[in-house]
Amino acid sequence: MPRYMPALFAAACGTAVAGIYYAQPLLDALASEFGIGHSTVGIVVTVTQMCYALGLLLLVPLGDLLNRRRLIAGQMLLSAAALLTVGAAPTAAVLLAGMAAVGLLAVVTQTLVAYAAALAPPAERGRVVGLVTSGVVTGILLARFVAGMLTDLAGWRAVYAASAGATLLMAGALFRVLPRHDSGRAALSYPQLLRSVADLFVRERILRVRAVLALLLFAAFSILWTSLVLPLSAPPLSLSHTAIGAFGLAGAAGALAAARAGRLADRGLGQRTTGIALALLLMSWLPIGYARHSLAALIIGVVMLDLAVQAVHVANQSLILASRPEARSRLTAAYMIFYSIGSAAGSIASTGMYAYAGWGGVCLLGAAVSAAALLFWALTRRPPAAASEREGASGPPSF
């Protein structure tokens, strides 16, 4: 793998996944333009996330079957068309249909993560996965800043037009530099390929445990980021879209700081990293709860939360992708389906809780989900004598 390739993969992942998250700081603008109530506007994000989960099941496993160069470039071209549809949407129905297509096709990020793991030397796989995954999380967080800034400058529709252009550029760059030929494709039909995703989930304990952690982890992540625009845009704060989106910069700083989690997983420290990060996730809700009284406290909480989320996510993927090298795309698909379900559930629960109990209720919900993740990790962590994953062991650990 050339030295520039992980950085290009990370940039492409960030560009592709951002399309799912542009809507979060724009929910108030979308609610106003399309006549959607604040208690139900979270459906825009939920539809996108549910279709993302569908794409994980139907499209990501194709990375083990088809030429990934053509698959990646083709999905990104279709993503650009879906983004243009959202930007030109005349009605709420077209908006939702366009967002569904954006979510379905954004799963190209996971094909890129699995491909990066396949191209990386085994001793550096965790580092490469950490770098590429940091591009995903950074894209998610910077999407809020870009969306807020462009909305204040030119309206929310300009956000999706600009994203379509960036996606087209990335599709061309990847098609130019990716290897023309793949090796190690699965000798399966497409129906057999889909069935094998379920088989992997049944057989691989590490996949089951880490998938449930991902569900809880990204439910907490989505609880914060989906509803954050509502208290910040309302009196007494009444912040602009640009200012609200800038909180994504703080989250991106935390996400980038956690990229080292992949190197820790390479050293066999995936379990320890997970436990510390989940405890940090739970503690982050205390400063986040003071958002209405102190923006500084909110920034501290956002950095803590995104640092924790990124660290666990990188550790999860490093451990899972090392378990079955011949099925990395399918392992990624099975894991990320739970990620998407958690994100969708967190989005709809967050806006509903805000309508019912305000920002305090949202923070209590996020803390409860974070506590459940920490408890689940503690209950599923085997004692040192029985665990197959050893702290500090050499080689890829199993779970």
Residue 70 lies in a domain: yes
Q: Rounded to two decimals, what is the model's pTM?
A: 0.74
Can the peptide bond before residue 236 be classed as cis, meaning omega within 30 degrees of 0?
Answer: yes
Residue 97 lies in a domain: yes
Where does the pLDDT of residue 162 fall: very low under 50, low under 70, confident under 90, or very high at 90 and above?
Answer: very high
pLDDT tens column, 105-124? 999 998 898 888 888 887 77
Output the CA–CA distances (angstroms, integers) from residue 275 to 22, 153, 266, in the order listed. Answer: 31, 42, 16
Residue 306 lies in a domain: yes
Where does the pLDDT of residue 389 fall: very low under 50, low under 70, confident under 90, or very high at 90 and above?
Answer: very low
Residue 25 lies in a domain: yes
Give the pLDDT confidence score for residue 384 in this predicted structure.
42
Residue 77 above 90 pLDDT?
A: yes
Give the pLDDT confidence score for residue 273 in this predicted structure.
87
Give the pLDDT confidence score for residue 182 in this predicted structure.
63
pLDDT tens column, 211-257? 999 999 999 998 998 888 788 877 777 787 777 777 777 767 766 66
Residue 392 lies in a domain: no
- CATH code where residue 244 lies: 1.20.1250.20
Residue 37 lies in a domain: yes
Residue 320 above 50 pLDDT?
A: yes
Domain extent, residue 260, equals 4-380
Give the pLDDT confidence score for residue 171 in this predicted structure.
93
Where does the pLDDT of residue 130 fall: very low under 50, low under 70, confident under 90, or very high at 90 and above?
Answer: confident
What are the φ and ψ backbone dihedral angles of 397, each rounded to 5 degrees? Answer: -75, 155
Taking residues 57-68, report their average pLDDT: 85
Mean pLDDT, the chain, whole residue set:
83
Pairwise pLDDT comparison (143 vs 363), residue with the higher score: 363
Query: Where is average pLDDT lowest: 36-40, 167-171, 187-191, 213-217?
Result: 36-40
Residue 393 lies in a domain: no
* Domain count of the fold of the chain: 1
In order, the DSSP letters of 125-159 are HHHHHHHHHHHHHHHHHHHHHHHHHHHHHH-HHHH
Taking residues 259-276, report their average pLDDT: 77
Pairwise pLDDT comparison (162 vs 63), residue with the higher score: 162
**H/E segment holding residue 116:** helix 108-119
Residue 276 lies in a domain: yes
